[in-house]
Structure 1
Amino acid sequence: MANSAPPRIFSRSRRIAALRRARVRQSQRDAARYVFDDMVEDVLERLEFMRFEPKRALVVGDITSTLALSLRGRGAHVDERDVASLDEELPIGGSPYDLIVSLASLDRVNDLPGALLHIRTALAPDGLFIASLIGAGSLAHLRAAMIAAQPERPEPRMHPLVDNAAASALLQRALFKRQVVDSRSLTVAFPSMDKLVSDLRDQGLGNVLAQPASALGKDELQRAREAFRKGANKHGRVLEALEVLTLTGWKD
């Protein structure tokens, strides 16, 4: 009998370790958190536009806890979870919720179709699901730098990412209604590749592949840094874009 289990691309233990390191880094005043700031602001604007006032919400993955704080300020009872306390590939306890929000989390699960089904099951009738994740097309300069580091046989160092069409199909497969997928570009200027990598680690967005590549050697790292700098503008900054996908769906 053929094995129907999804391929193991990501490591849950490495995700938990990255989250714990990010929590420590977030305690520093200068820690990067702009990805989550953008996602939280977007979610709140959508709820305001839809005039949706949740009474019971589940927030997954927000390392800043600002979304839960804002929702509580609106009178909602909020359950906060992270990868250490919630496995998206298993049924979600504590349901039903009339709002489930996932931030920068679902792009790193092995069984994304299964995770979406569990989320839909955990919603109350007429419940709303919103997910923000890093989508395909992100970090083009960093990807080019990793290839330049090992031009003959580059090892996998960056995550496969979901695009708009795949996200729409996944929402339909999970039986969400009135589903919408849109994207926006978050562009950030970096003086170096090292600063970009540091910012990603601050936000728990580093590599959590199940089979991580070996560390770059000194010469390989130098090639990567030089390749990254080639994309710099006249001010010496590399404008790196992160494509943020937002998935919205309802349970009828």
Structure 2
Amino acid sequence: MTPPEIFDRARRRARRDRAAPLFAEASFIRDWMLEGISERLDAVRREFTDVLDLGCFDGGFLPPPGARVTRIDAGERFAAMTGGIQGDEDRPYVPEGSFDLVIAAGSLDTVNDLPGALALIRRALRPDGLFLGAFLGGVTLSTLRSVLLEAEADRPAARVHPQVDVRAAGDLLVRAGFALPVADVESLDVRYTDLFALVRDLRGMAGTSLLPAPPPLSRATVARAAAAFAARGDAEGRTTERFDAIFVTGWAPDPSQPQPARRGSATASLAAALKPKP
């Protein structure tokens, strides 16, 4: 039995197509993620020749010098802009063992099958290939979530999709078969003059809700949400919204990688090491 999908795939493609023409004006979240990915990539002392930019948006990721890059995006316009391929991240279309580096910045939080997408990334990598990803999670949009709940106190509806936390992200890497998995979180606070400025940014980055068939917001509800947002403002009349980026790193297994010690192979007792010295 196929599980129900969390996100509306057609709406996801349409939102990305809507955002494509002016994406550069609202790309600061993905730019921030790409900066973090580039820092992590700079710390790796090896060469990469075949790179997959999965969920490429406008192609802002710069591959290592001399590397061939393949770009895939769910949106038709983003794919066309970058000379890439249109496709969903959790659908099986990437040949096995095709790449030695896969990056995915800003898209994996809205795929219907995140474990499946990670498993596909793992299979797309050659042995000892590297995956670097970043996506919104944690308590992202906590202010927006709070004011919408306040505005719809009598009959609240789900309007901000569930977020993956850093521990779950690490578990998903292990489940997908990555070696040496690492997951960490970085936060960015953005101050807005009003609720509508936040919504404009979310639309510009294709970050509005993709939950299927949400009930429409009435004008009265929007007004209450805007007032609740403004009430949380600081002395300068700006309200802070939080974005949490979950950064994930994993390697395709290879015998050359460091291996955990065999259980029971220790030659010293932890209890003895912790004893006070005479």
For residue 241 of structure 1, what is the aligned residue in structure 2?
242
Per the alignment, residue 57 of structure 2 pairs with 63
* TM-score, length basis structure 1: 0.92
Moved over 6 A (4+): none
Q: Is the radius of gyration larger for structure 1 or structure 2?
A: 2
Counterparts of 1:19-168 in structure 2, within 5 Å, are: 19-26=16-23, 31-67=25-61, 70-71=62-63, 74-84=65-75, 85-95=86-96, 96-168=98-170
Structure 2: which amino acid aligns with 1:43? I
Name the SS for the 1:220 alignment partner: helix
User: Structure 2 matches for 1:191-210, cutoff 5 A?
Assistant: 191-210=193-212
| Unmatched segments (≥5 aa) in structure 2 | 76-85, 254-278
Deviation digits for residues 173-199 of structure 1 (CA, Å, limit 9, x no counterpart): 111000000000011110011000110
What do residues 57-111 of structure 1 show as CA deviations (whole Å, max 9, x unaligned)?
00022323120xx216x11100011014122222232551001111111111121
CA contact (8 A) 2:55 2:89 kept: no
> What is the one-letter code of the residue matched to 2:210?
V
- Count of matched residue positions in the alignment of Structure 1 and Structure 2: 242
Are the equivalent residues in 1 in contact too, given 2:94–2:120 (CA < 8 A)? Answer: no
1:15 is aligned, of 12, 16, 36, to 12
Segments of 5+ residues of structure 1 without an aligned counterpart are: none
Kept in 2, the 8 Å contact 1:36–1:62? The answer is no
Alpha carbons 1:36, 1:64 under 8 Å: kept: no
**Percent identical:** 38
SS at 1:197 equivalent? helix
Q: For 1:245 and 1:251, how far apart are their aligned partners in 2?
A: 20
Aligned-residue RMSD, C-alpha? 1.4
TM-score (normalised: structure 2): 0.83
Q: For 1:98 and 1:124, how far apart are their aligned partners in 2?
A: 5
**How far apart, CA to CA, are the structure 2 residues paired with 1:7 and 1:145?**
28
